[in-house]
Amino acid sequence: MIRNLAIVFILVFAPAALADVAPSASSGAWQGLRATYYGNKEIGEVDEKLMSLAAPASTPDPSATPVTIRFGAQAAGKVKQVRLIIDHNPSPVAATMQLEQGVPIDEIELRIRVDRATSVRAIAELDDGTLEMRSAWVNASGGCSSPPSAAGAGALGDIRFRPGADGKALQVSLRHPNNSGFQIDPLSGDAIPPHYVLHMRLRSGGQTLFDAETGISLAENPTVRIASAQDLKAPLTLEAVDSKNERYEATWNGAPAAKAGGR
């Protein structure tokens, strides 16, 4: 009798117990975020040729997990905004990116912190007002509390540009701790105060390619890579502002690779 009751208990309650750790497009966290940012607007979730999201199912580094958003021919140049959301992070919105209309950006790649097993979502608003969402399930633990990496070359505010060989892609990174406020100094044992990048803007000549509001869910040394169907014309300038109101700016003039100081 007891054995039978135990089996019934498992069959009835196990699905509910697992619901919060299994991938789900309708998780409670997402429903609250959806209502906050999109209300009851319809969101498409199907056409991978229009838009896709790639992320590792089990990230080797939860403090710097690569996420790539790709736009198909129907969407490239027509996306007004992309919001990257990590459902179960302490600060779920990693970035809200405004894109320049008419510039056919095909791909955006960022590195993010993932605090625990969660859905990662990209929600794009097109120029006609329609919304499209793609999501990926990522198994991770402790990305927002991982200690800072060991000091390396470069000073706070250094900006590096790495162009693609074909002139149609560019990676830009800002030397910055992007401290989350959840980290502990491994030497002193003290909490590290939050200090993170609030805003990043990338311009090509007089044209803004993207304008992003960011936060603690971006990885240390925030890095963005964009790819386009057309040449990304120099000069390209990155402007950034952090939570201490420090400002950083550098321009790449077309050399094979570049590094520039900020502030």
- Average pLDDT score, the chain: 88
Please write the tens of the pLDDT for every residue from 129-164: 999 999 999 999 999 999 998 655 579 999 999 998
27-143+153-260 has which CATH code?
2.60.40.2470
Show the CA angle centred on residue 229, arms to residues 224 and 235, nearest 5°: 60
pLDDT at residue 8 tops 90:
no
Catalogue the E-assigned strands of the chain.
43-44, 51-54, 65-71, 79-86, 93-99, 105-112, 116-126, 131-141, 159-163, 169-174, 197-204, 207-214, 223-228, 236-242, 247-252, 258-260
pLDDT attached to residue 166: 86
Average pLDDT over residues 56-70: 97
Query: What values do phi and psi take at 8, rounded to 5?
Result: -60, -45
Range from 42-46, 97-101, 134-138, 229-233 carrying the lowest mean pLDDT: 229-233
pLDDT attached to residue 151: 59
Supply the pTM of this predicted model: 0.87
pLDDT at residue 236 tops 70:
yes
pLDDT at residue 13 tops 50:
no
pLDDT at residue 3 tops 60:
no
pLDDT at residue 25 tops 80:
no
Please write the tens of the pLDDT for every residue from 77-92: 999 999 999 999 999 9
Per-residue pLDDT band for 260 (boundaries 50, 70, 90) equals low
Average pLDDT over residues 187-203: 96
Range from 29-43, 98-112, 244-258 carrying the lowest mean pLDDT: 244-258
